[in-house]
Structure 1
């Protein structure tokens, strides 16, 4: 079931990226990086459908990567590499939603970022520049982020030369929108909160028991001193899922309505009670097999 959900997310994400390309980026000549932007440039130069160079480039890069990196490590990459050009080709005749390049850059970037976010939530990728970055990292030791940034920059600059400098500026807007929406989708997956609660001494134990047993979350007690009274106080720190924050607030208010509570966003939470990152999990399994 988990594998089915994983590949459904990859399919949904690549479909969204394909729609963003055919609805916004392609008709308005906005090459905002990636293989899709490269395919748009090549298609304009050769006067062919962008899906053709996207197919050829994606499959060629996938084949080279399989040869050097191995088939097992690229099983999920193969899904994205095949589905993206397939969806671009299947939706190539769908009419664009706007001919305003600014709107196309913004909405195309947001839709592309949302699609990529879904793919990355499934721990997959769409191939292309991601696989090239893996190869450059293996051969030359170049960081993945640096390699992808350099390639995206080259595509944007090429768009400025081939189309117009103005199109390159629109492409930069698209890149920014893509990064923001992608980060938002990924953040929703691992959204966690950290709460700090300062309660009265008589309610401290009751709050601790409620968090431990009713909310089923661990907590840490931090010694603190009141700035005005100089009284010793205990600060309860609880890390929990974002969906549990409202329940915690109601729980605290029911026990100590006068309690002072701060709830903040917490990114990249790891440890007992939270999902283990797949990269860490695979690394741990490899170590166990070695032993």
Structure 2
């Protein structure tokens, strides 16, 4: 399958999953979790407008405004993703069962499923336009950071929904759903934390490196470092291992140097020999 075809299939799959999550959990329970979909949900209940076509109607002027303000860097994938999501929402609505009327369950499961769908769209180099474009425009015109702009737009939509539905409780559930969605999007894009990265500051970097290579069969990289207080130059040992190997590596390091300074952090989607192969 060609790269472009794989991307469009991935974007379509992600958009359909997102559409199902909206129809199955969020829209029927009036959980407007920010973004253009949240605004379209409010307008659906106020004016009886179809959610999908309302989203498309809101996205089209945003797209052309972004091209005018930001240039033509937003390509075909943006229009494709937005159009597919809008069509999928209205097309799947009559066939999608509403699994629960519990607001907490709807917010959680709707957020998870939406996050999976949106994460797939982003992973395959697509976007569904909406608040992403609005935030980029605000950043260009007013100098507001993209993160702050996204927060402001989503906060406005959620507040508007609470006022329109006369329920502060619905706004609180929408915030839960929005938080879950963003976390799942990151998880889908970055992958689960299946590996750990070690930064090892030691006076015996060569010995530590040799031990890791010989006893654990893991690659090691030397990073050049210099202490700010002592002004002493020293190699920092960098190594990535599986989660199951963390204890073994720590024991190995401290067996060689009991005064070693070790930083351990999560490593997402590690590609290369000994880990996941990059098939992109």
TM-score (norm. length: structure 1): 0.72
Structure 2 portions without partners, runs of 5+: 227-233, 274-280
Q: Find out whether 1:245 has 2:242 as its counterpart.
A: yes
Q: Find out whether 1:29 has 2:20 as its counterpart.
A: no
Which of residues 139, 146, 149 is equivalent to 1:147? 149
Tell me, in whole angstroms, the C-alpha distance in 2 between the residues paired with 1:115 and 1:104.
Answer: 16
Q: Find out whether 1:165 has 2:162 as its counterpart.
A: no
Tell me, in whole angstroms, the C-alpha distance in 1 between the residues paired with 2:26 and 2:159.
Answer: 16
Report if aligned partners of 2:190, 2:269 keep a CA contact under 8 Å in 1. no
Q: CA deviation at 1:236?
A: 7.2
Structure 1 portions without partners, runs of 5+: 224-233, 274-291
- Of the structure 1 ranges 31-40 and 144-153, higher mean CA displacement relative to structure 2 is found in 144-153
Q: Find out whether 1:99 has 2:101 as its counterpart.
A: yes
Q: CA deviation at 1:207?
A: 2.6
- Of the structure 1 ranges 16-25 and 53-62, higher mean CA displacement relative to structure 2 is found in 53-62
Q: CA RMSD in A?
A: 3.9
2:45 corresponds to: 44
Q: CA deviation at 1:116?
A: 2.1
1:44-96 Cα distance to aligned partner (Å, 9 max, x none): 11112212211211223223323333334333322221121021122111121
| Structure 1 segments of 4+ aligned residues over 6 angstroms from their partners | 200-203, 246-253, 258-263
Q: Quick one: structure 1 residues 173 and 210, their matched pair in 2 at CA, closer, same or farther if it must change by over 3 Å? A: same
Report if aligned partners of 2:78, 2:128 keep a CA contact under 8 Å in 1. yes
2:196 corresponds to: 193
Secondary structure at 2:100's aligned position in 1?
Answer: coil
Which of residues 143, 161, 185 is equivalent to 1:182? 185
Map 1:1-291; keep pairs closer than 5 Å. Answer: 1-93=2-94, 94-163=96-165, 164-188=167-191, 193-195=196-198, 204=208, 206-207=210-211, 209-210=213-214, 215-220=218-223, 237-240=237-240, 245=242, 264-266=264-266
TM-score (norm. length: structure 2): 0.74
Secondary structure at 2:55's aligned position in 1?
Answer: helix
Q: Quick one: structure 1 residues 191 and 117, their matched pair in 2 at CA, closer, same or farther if it must change by over 3 Å? A: farther
